Amino acid sequence: MGRFSIPIMGFMLLCCLAALTEAKYLKYKDPKQPLGARIKDLMNKMTLAEKIGQMVQIERSVATPDVMKTYFIGSVLSGGGSVPAPKASAEAWVNMVNELQKGSLSTRLGIPMIYGIDAVHGHNNVYNATIFPHNVGLGVTRDPQLIKRIGDATALEVRATGIPYVFAPCIAVCRDPRWGRCYESYSEDPKIVQQMTEIIPGLQGEIPVKSRKGVPFVAGKQKVAACAKHFVGDGGTTKGIDENNTVIGLNGLLSIHMPAYYNSISMGVATVMISYSSWNGKRMHENRDLVTDFLKNKLKFKGFVISDWQGIDRITSPPHANYSYSVEAGVGAGIDMIMVPYNFTEFIDDLTDQVKRKIIPMSRIDDAVKRILRVKFVMGLFENPVADFSLVNQLGSKEHRELAREAVRKTLVLLKNGKSAYKPLLPLPKKTAKILVAGSHADNLGHQCGGWTITWQGLGGNDLTTGTTILNAVKNTVDPSTQVVYSENPDAEFVKSNKFSFAIVVVGEPSYAEMFGDSNNLTIPEPGPSTISNVCGAVQCVVVVISGRPVIIQPYLAKIDALVAAWLPGTEGQGIADLLFGDYGFTGKLARTWLKTVDQLPMNVGDPHYDPLFPFGFGLTTKSTKN
């Protein structure tokens, strides 16, 4: 050996070690690197298949670790009612999400998937979660800080199940209560809807003052990525027909339906979901002018744009009639993540083919992937991709249920109180001989919660989850000496013969969601009207209406002594008894116009010939009887 052999070998060994160290160091996995550098480094390493995989969101029922790994799937969701098991625990949810995540982390680049779920009034798919009032009630409160606290509680309950992404809030401005999604809207007034976007910093965390407008922000493991939906004009369709056409000029679109998006983007909302509806005949899922030119370029939104469930399929009529066109139009419009949710291989194959044939430019794919990765990096998903059980006690916690009860109290609107101003019926006395509680909704937790609760359409009955019905709330509140008699639909003779001190009648709409709730009559179904007639004709009564919107009540109003709009209050029915019996006073003011007849629709505050039964902003008040 020559005299320089050993030093040369040592030098070579050092070089090999340096190369090995360099190979192990990945810039995109280093949280100390700037966000832009991490995104660029990762994208430079990605193949077309890996990029397209990031753009795909599939339903949990077709997701497996092997599917996640093979197709580089970027996201998974639970559709309405899609759960790991009936009444699954928080731990069971965490285990399911983590199992799928392991598949994603085992890929060549280890890009974590993001799991999304509807959490539109609390963590509504999950058994034992706190179910808050639907948005139609929350708008009544005009209390942005309350809404922010609800966002914070919802984020904790969602993270308790290992999920980091929610399809909420809905910031639609419902202009016609015939729409089956009207209860997902805070108000007919865009200003109130703007105020309620304060739920976003509750869900995601408070965006730092120095953050650039439009850049997504999620503050760590106890917060979730939010989704402003449905962009744009979904609440303005003709006659309130779901997924239909919103006929309005640009000025009207910008002044009524767009303002809440300005707020959402300034708050760092991570994602925006596109609406099924059309604007002046053009489907939003193919509207490049609004999705790319306006939302992304003019408003400078830097998060990712997601389709609705099978949203690109519905670009054509009938849906899926020309799938290649739908892929081209939807992705070309600027949608970054496609909620497939089942036939993902068809979408992947079609998009791949269109990119290779230069129908869809590679720049469009890169824009989508950059946005998706930006959200994943910002929310810390690369550093903390696997959930643990540290937050499981947050699900349905006492603190969150008390918050929901407070929200119920603030959502109720007192529309009538006594047949004359000098003889109010409310607040009711807790101590009396005998009272009647009647009506189809008095002892029905499912109807009380409405749609998007445990299942997509909601469920009647008391077995869907845990909570307090209005009947049980009354029993919890009255004096032990007061006899509470419950009869769902008593006849008049029964009421008269029992000599009740007064009656509480709880009636309303059955549970529904989306197009299944579209209605051209807005009537309370039987036996509701019969119960009102039988009871209120025989004894002093307060009628509590459980509904996702104003309904036709004028024909019964003269018989009713007191009338309360309770909307869809959720699991904490005790909040209703709190007000009926005077522990707290009524403060709620209508955030929707209450119609006389459907012939008046659409009718919104500020319209000419405005002639409501109860106007926007109306609400009687009472004082607490607590000492």
SS3 category, 113: coil
Q: At what angle do helices 323-333 and 362-378 cross, to 10 degrees?
A: 60
Active-site residue among 308, 518, 572, 578?
Answer: 308
Residues contacting residue 389 through CB under 8 Å, at least 6 positions apart: 90, 91, 94
Neighbours of 150 (CB within 10 A): 29
Collapsing DSSP states into helix, strand and coil, what is residue 586? Answer: coil
b/e map 405-432, b = 16+ CB within 10 Å: bbbbbbbbbbbbbeeeeeebbbbbebee
| Torsion of Cα atoms, 329 then 330 then 332 then 337, to 10° | -160
Q: Which residue has tokens 């469009």?
A: 364
Question: Angle of helix 362-378 relative to helix 35-45, nearest 10 degrees?
Answer: 130
Nearest to 310 by CA among 350, 282, 338: 338
**What distances in angstroms separate CA 67 from CA 98, 196, 309, 431, one per listed residue?**
14, 39, 20, 62
Cα 403 to its chain centre, rounded Å, is 18
- The question of whether 188 is a catalytic residue gets the answer no
First to last CA, the chain: 100
Give the span between the Cα atoms of 348 and 345, in whole angstroms: 5
**Which residues does 479 contact at the CB level (< 8 Å), separation at least 6?**
430, 431, 432
| Distance separating alpha carbons of residues 279 and 291, to the nearest angstrom | 12
Catalytic residue status for 514: yes
**Alpha carbon of 216 to those of 205, 303, 390, 480: distances in Å?**
11, 5, 26, 54
User: 438 near 535, Cβ under 8 Å?
Assistant: yes
H-run or E-run covering 155: helix 144-160
Under 8 Å CB-to-CB from 141, ≥6 apart: which residues? 147, 407, 410, 411, 588
- 359 exposed, middle or buried (CB, 10 Å; 0-12, 13-18, 19+)? middle
Q: Which of 313, 328, 509, 514 is catalytic?
A: 514
Q: Would you please indicate which residues are annotated as catalytic (active-site) residues?
A: 308, 514
